Amino acid sequence: MADYRRPISTGKELSQPVTSTPRVRLSCELCRQRKVKCDKLNPCTNCQRFGATCVPVERARLPRGRSGRVTGKNASGHDTGLKERVDRLEELLRELTEHDDGTIAAQVSSSSSGRSDPAPANTQADKYEPGTENSLWANILKEIHDIRSTKSYGTINEGRTSSNDAMKFRELLATPRELGSSMATREPNVTVQVEKNLVQVFLEKVDPAFKILHAPSLKVFLLDGKSYLDYEPGHMAPAALASSIRFAAACSITEDESKNLLGCNKGWLVTRYQQESEAALAKADFMTSNDLAILQAFVLFLLASRSQDSSRRVWTMLSMALRIAQAILLHLPELPFPVRPFERELRRRLWTHIGLLDIQCSLERASEPMMQAKWVDSNPPSNVNDCDISFGMDGPVQEAGGFTDMTFAMMTLKAQSTVRLLNFSDFIDKTVSCVNKRQQLVIEFQETASKLLQNSQPDKIPFHWYTRQVAEIISASLQLIVLRPLQRNTNFVPPRVRGDRLLQIAVDVLKKSKTVRNDPRGQPWRWCEFMFVPWHSLAVAIAELCVCEDHSLIESFWGPVREAYENMGDLIADSRSGMIWKPMEKIMAQAEAKRNELLAAPDAIPYSMHFPGAAAPLQAPVCSQASMQPSAGDVIPSTGTYAEAAPLVALPETVELGSWPSVWDAVDFGCPVATNEMSWLNYENFIEDVYGTMDYTLLAH
């Protein structure tokens, strides 16, 4: 998509003298920015189609024939230095041939293998001093460096400048290559059928859970071999998109699937398409391109890369995707230029999933999300099937009922909006601190998810089952976030939770996550489990276990907690060396110490003395219901007015699926926890350790 912001005219061009030199019409600015063919009319056909102002580009015709040649006077001074250096190089090569030194020949071979990068050659030349045994080779390298630095050498490569400028950013995309590119020599070439199989894998495993593309258009392009939408054959944008699709597909399969379905090693396949995607994105100059398909390719590349790399590379590069999206105005509900209904829908899908990656990265790193909640809420995609939209459609997109291709995306859209409002930091948004209103946000998510899951068939369709499980995990996780926030906030004191309900719902999240991971119905989407790592639920569960005094109870919950702790270390950001896992190890050590203490004590204190029921209230300060009322500053636009008292709500139900798991009936909204409540203090200390580790990491680097 073109950038319609034009340079402001200064009027100086009007004062330029008019010359009689013939002018040549070039591609207009819009076509040049979109990288499409321009018919050079005034206005051109493309600009007329998009309703944009056509800005012609002209230049004086370059001289031809004798008049266009460099004069002898200018050429003599231009070529003399180059000729002298070439003569000197030939002389050095003759000396090298006569010298016949095996050591030098080996150095020549070694240097030739790495000559694509001039920096090492220059460094090597600087190391050798005249008079040493390698002075001959040093002189040759110096002459080559001098020739490269001449003006004529730069002139020869002038036509490649833009390509080289784009390629130098390739390392920004590179993730660690454990397998190395040398594997390509040990594996067979990828056939056309293998690439088609990868496309089928993408449509089955990646597209349903990360719906940013239009599947029918992809099938026509990648399976039938036809042009993609209205792009010309060989265009860089569809090529980059195809590479990212294959890369994402390669990342989504298991080692056995790779060998059985594709006949090759997964590690090699991932490395190959990672490098191919990097090269295609760099060639397309993705940082400055206004093409929607190129941004789609980049976002898919980030998604696939995160599934293989838990470092902060993707977290860092996601900011580029957001800025590119803002540059092409994806965040605006109403655009200042006309777009097709089909393109508008794809723009909204892409913007929504950039938001999903944003909130996922912020959650796994306990950091600030970049996008505001209103940015996502004000520009949602439509809940439709792909078959309901097409490239040539004229009318508006009509919403579909029941479970659609976009149901999972719409459910996660509501979830990410809720998390942004529950996140305590006001760096981006004014967030919600009143517990009653925080509860209402979760109930609104449950209501939205219930409507979206109507007419779903979890017993018959695996992806419907997977969507339902993820919705329940999100619902329970949001309840935990209401009571145990993700951010530090000294002014927040949560209400007390009676009994072991908080521990139960935290462990339920861990159990359900294990079910999704191991159940065959969820196997196709196991590759994206990094999107929903329940580290927060694990931390809440461990904090509760640290203060549990009932041996039988702690043993009943210990197995799921310990198993989740062992498995989650490799999924979390930066794995076991990250800023979240170090505090997790610390609090887990406290829980293990408590368990060992109970094992050694035959007369353990009854459980009810620490987790009291309704008949045994906590020793907490008496407080009135009014103390927990929302303040005027806590009212959230677009969410309505909340009830002042803790709402006695009937939790929404999904048709034929029962009610949502809930912690609310065990929450005393009218009374906060005691200031010395150990389970809350343990969790607070954990969050403090997380941010302390993050601050130390930043200072150390």
What is 94-111 written as a DSSP string?
HHHHHH--HHHHHHHHHH
Query: For residue range 475-498, what is the model confidence (pLDDT) as tens digits?
Result: 999 999 999 998 877 778 888 888
578 domain-assigned: yes
> What's the residue count for the chain?
701
In the chain, the number of structural domains is 1
Contact call for residues 572 and 580 (beta carbons, < 8 A): yes
Residue 608: the pLDDT is: 43
Q: 456 Cβ partners below 8 Å, 6+ apart?
A: 402, 403, 407, 464, 467, 468, 654
Mean of pLDDT values over 544-559: 91
HSE at residue 441, side-chain half, CA atoms within 13 A, is: 32
CA–CA separation, 139 and 615 (whole Å): 92
CA-angle at 483, arms to 482 and 488, nearest 5°: 85
Q: Of 430, 535, 560, 519, give the one whose Cα is nearest residue 477.
A: 535
Token pair belonging to 477: 């996780």
Task: Using pLDDT thresholds of 50, 70 and 90, give the confidence band for residue 662.
Answer: confident
CA 490 to chain centre: 31
HSE at residue 340, side-chain half, CA atoms within 13 A, is: 14
Q: Of 203, 242, 240, 204, give the one whose Cα is nearest residue 221.
A: 242
Q: 669 Cβ partners below 8 Å, 6+ apart?
A: 435, 436, 439, 495, 625, 628, 645, 646
HSE at residue 126, side-chain half, CA atoms within 13 A, is: 6
Neighbours of 109 (CB within 10 A): 9
Instruction: Name the 3-class secondary structure at 352.
Output: helix
- State what percent of residues in the chain have pLDDT above 70: 69
CA–CA separation, 516 and 493 (whole Å): 33
Q: Of 564, 479, 581, 484, give the one whose Cα is nearest residue 529.
A: 564
Residue 627: the pLDDT is: 35
CA–CA separation, 395 and 416 (whole Å): 30
Neighbours of 417 (CB within 10 A): 24
Q: 325 Cβ partners below 8 Å, 6+ apart?
A: 295, 331, 350, 351, 354
Task: Judge residue 179's burial from the number of C-beta atoms within 10 Å of its C-beta, 0-12 exposed, 13-18 middle, 19 or more buried.
Answer: middle
State how far the alpha carbon of 427 is from the alpha carbons of 318, 358, 372, 486, in Å: 18, 15, 10, 14
299 domain-assigned: no
Q: Of 275, 256, 299, give the one whose Cα is nearest residue 179.
A: 275
Task: Judge residue 158's burial from the number of C-beta atoms within 10 Å of its C-beta, 0-12 exposed, 13-18 middle, 19 or more buried.
Answer: exposed
36 domain-assigned: no
Contact call for residues 585 and 539 (beta carbons, < 8 A): no
Contact call for residues 31 and 38 (beta carbons, < 8 A): yes
Query: For residue range 225-244, what is the model confidence (pLDDT) as tens digits?
Result: 999 999 999 999 999 999 99
CA–CA separation, 699 and 681 (whole Å): 26
Residue 367: the pLDDT is: 81
Residue 98 — left, alpha, or beta (φ > 0 → left; ψ -120 to 50 → alpha)? alpha
653 domain-assigned: no
Q: Of 211, 271, 281, give the one whose Cα is nearest residue 242.
A: 281
Query: For residue range 305-318, what is the model confidence (pLDDT) as tens digits?
Result: 999 988 889 999 99
479 domain-assigned: no
CA–CA separation, 323 and 387 (whole Å): 31
76 domain-assigned: no
Query: For residue range 505-514, what is the model confidence (pLDDT) as tens digits?
Result: 999 999 999 9
CA–CA separation, 105 and 137 (whole Å): 9
Give the CA-trace dihedral at 307, 308, 311, 313, to 10 degrees: -80
Greatest alpha-carbon pair distance for the chain in Å reads 107
Contact call for residues 359 and 373 (beta carbons, < 8 A): no
Residue 80: the pLDDT is: 63
State how far the alpha carbon of 492 is from the alpha carbons of 424, 434, 435, 436, in Å: 9, 9, 9, 13
192 domain-assigned: no
Token pair belonging to 188: 């067979």
CA-angle at 274, arms to 289 and 196, nearest 5°: 95
Parent domain of 594: 535-600+662-694
Greater confidence (330 vs 487) lies with 330
Residue 64: the pLDDT is: 61
Query: For residue range 271-306, what is the model confidence (pLDDT) as tens digits?
Result: 999 999 999 999 999 999 999 999 999 999 999 999
Task: Using pLDDT thresholds of 50, 70 and 90, give the confidence band for residue 49.
Answer: confident
CA–CA separation, 635 and 64 (whole Å): 72
484 domain-assigned: no
Give yes or no for residue 222 having a pLDDT over 90.
yes
